[in-house]
Structure 1
Amino acid sequence: MQYLQWIIKGMAMGAADVVPGVSGGTLAFILGIYQRLLAAISQFNLTAVRLLVRGQFKSLWQYVDGTFLLCLFSGILLSIFALAGVISYFLHYRPVPLWALFTGLILAALPQLCRSISWSKLRLLLCLLGVIFAVGISLLTPSELQPAIWMYFFAGAIAICAMILPGISGSFILLILGMYSHVLAAVTNLKVSVLALFIAGCIFGLLSFSRLLNWLLAKYHDASLAFLIGIVIGALYRIWPWQWQSKLYLPWTYPSATGDTDMLLAGICAVAGVMIMVLLLNLERWLGKPAVSDIKQHLD
């Protein structure tokens, strides 16, 4: 059952990664697997290479937490390939319900996130800085270009850093770089050579950036979590569904300002997002594993 939980959580991360403005790292952080993921990725080092060269495959698998990574990334890839077409449709034709779903997911998790650390004035300040950082990233203007082939590697390396940072969407970074539509087209059309180059860039960026984040969480645990919680809160600015021409609205005032007819569906999706997050947060208990009292216990 533990393996099934990891696959399901990976699927949640994959679905988030496809949407510009939502981060798979946010879901990993919320679901209590963030530091374990960073620690496992950071284990791909010289020691791992030596174990590989010596043929100690069992020791290597245990050293890099292979079963956890295999289940998680299987879920991520399954979700990306299964949902890329559906999410592309909603992004183009019904964006408000899609954003409402992810807003519901994050809002449902915020109380548990905020209970995961002991707050102080310094940590509140770091949380505020995290909010400002996330909003600042959200205000950047997306661009579009015709990429050279080498740019897929560069885009993968940059985007993956954002994907594992809660609140900062790798897909949105691809939008800013002008690469989002090209990468999504490569996934949809299975352009193997382009995807291979993009994945190589992702691996390079992932192995580099994960070490920094893992070190920060090990040395400055609660301070780092406070900043990350701020980033998650700030990300709501980017994905808030009820906004028009850079102005945010309350759900019940949005129709009068825009004439939008998707309000009922958006409300249903927001409630569905809350329910999905409750299910995800209670996977351990409902699938027969002992419940974990809070996220901090997952990370310690």
Structure 2
Amino acid sequence: MIEWRNLYRGGLMGVSDLIPGVSGGTIAVVLGIYQRLIEAINGIFTREWKRHLAFLIPLLVGVLLALFLLSNIVDWLYEHYPNQLQFAFLGLIAGILPMLLKKSDYKKTFGAQHYVLFFLAALLVGSTAIFQEGVADTITTFDGSTYVLLFLSGWLASSAMILPGISGSMLLLIVGMYPTFVYVLSDVVIEALIPLGLGIVFGILIMSKIIKYFLNQYFYQTYALIIGLVFGSIFVIYPGFDPSFLLNVVSVALIFVGMFVAYLLGKLEHQQ
């Protein structure tokens, strides 16, 4: 049976992908579907493929609908009120951390190695904030070498997007491919979309297998890593304050709104 609830879940993931520094994987964790997402991607080529597609298809439709229908609204908000938008997501992500800690039962299951993994993951993600302002030229002519570059960049971006806390768009910014990705997608450059799409598909499939293996074999260590990635993303998303006192008041209020939404989502999604 198709899980129609995934339409709104996919919509939230799609909106998050429009915000620099916010990861769709993080939102999947917020929604409590991260492990199911990994299992569904890995299950496409098994005998239970119909059940997994029933989970993935509405999720994908929700992502695409959000990207096409809400991109202009989110772009307008990000252009005029970037700090307020990011503070809302900051509150959303911060609000789910207590739920993740509770689910991992960290007081009983975490030892020194888990805290080391948490710290390293948080440091890894947090350090990417240094590179947010990177700028590179847009590639508009394509040959064999640029096709390979697009394939590898798609692989890198999709691998990052499936990891909580790591923004695929930010990694593309770091390696200088973000402007080219925007150009290729907005102008629908078919010859570039093919290697890009193949890289995205391979990246998702391979990274999901790696994550599934570690979740199955080292569950609590992997969960410590995931919580660290999510925690580190807070420092990436944090935009600083505005010169305007009123806008700062709105920003602080939106942190609490985001935390309250996270609480509601936690009640809805994690405690079924």
TM bracket, shorter-chain basis:
0.7 to 0.9
Corresponding position: 1:145 with 2:137: yes
2:173 to 168, 172, 175: 175
Q: Which residue does 1:118 correspond to in 2?
A: 105
| Letter paired with 2:205 | L
Counterpart contact for 1:39–1:214, Cα < 8 Å:
yes
| Letter paired with 1:183 | F
1:84 to 71, 77, 83: 71
Q: Which residue does 1:279 correspond to in 2?
A: 264
| Distance of 1:144 and 1:261 partners within structure 2 | 35
Counterpart contact for 1:85–1:188, Cα < 8 Å:
no
Counterpart contact for 1:187–1:195, Cα < 8 Å:
yes
TM-score w.r.t. length of structure 2: 0.85
| Distance of 2:163 and 2:20 partners within structure 1 | 14
| Structure 1, unpaired ranges of 5+ | 52-58, 243-253, 286-290, 293-300
| Distance of 1:177 and 1:114 partners within structure 2 | 33
CA shift at 1:154, angstroms? 2.6
CA shift at 1:159, angstroms? 0.5
| Distance of 1:270 and 1:177 partners within structure 2 | 31
Deviations 1:67-115 (A, max 9, x none): 0011111111111222222222333332101111110111111111111
| Letter paired with 1:27 | I
Deviations 1:122-177 (A, max 9, x none): 22222112111112233235231222542433322110111010000011112223
Aligned ranges for residues 19-168 of structure 1 at < 5 Å? 19-45=19-45, 48=46, 60-62=49-51, 65-119=52-106, 120-122=110-112, 123-140=114-131, 142-147=134-139, 148-149=141-142, 150=147, 151-168=149-166
Q: Which residue does 1:296 correspond to in 2?
A: none
| Structure 2, unpaired ranges of 5+ | none
CA shift at 1:191, angstroms? 4.6
The verdict on how the C-alpha distance between 1:284 and 1:234 changes in structure 2, with shifts beyond 3 A counting, is closer
Give aligned-pair identity as a percent.
31
| Distance of 1:34 and 1:60 partners within structure 2 | 18
**CA RMSD, aligned part only?**
2.5
| Distance of 2:245 and 2:137 partners within structure 1 | 31
Counterpart contact for 2:16–2:23, Cα < 8 Å:
yes
| Distance of 1:133 and 1:179 partners within structure 2 | 20
SS at match of 1:282: helix
Counterpart contact for 2:14–2:67, Cα < 8 Å:
yes
Counterpart contact for 1:109–1:277, Cα < 8 Å:
yes
Worse-matched range after superposition: 28-37 or 120-129: 120-129
Counterpart contact for 1:81–1:187, Cα < 8 Å:
no
| Distance of 1:85 and 1:188 partners within structure 2 | 12
The verdict on how the C-alpha distance between 1:34 and 1:97 changes in structure 2, with shifts beyond 3 A counting, is same
| Distance of 1:152 and 1:82 partners within structure 2 | 26
Counterpart contact for 1:21–1:168, Cα < 8 Å:
yes
CA shift at 1:273, angstroms? 2.0
SS at match of 1:241: coil
TM-score w.r.t. length of structure 1: 0.78
| Letter paired with 1:102 | F
Counterpart contact for 1:157–1:202, Cα < 8 Å:
yes
Aligned ranges for residues 192-203 of structure 1 at < 5 Å? 192-203=190-201
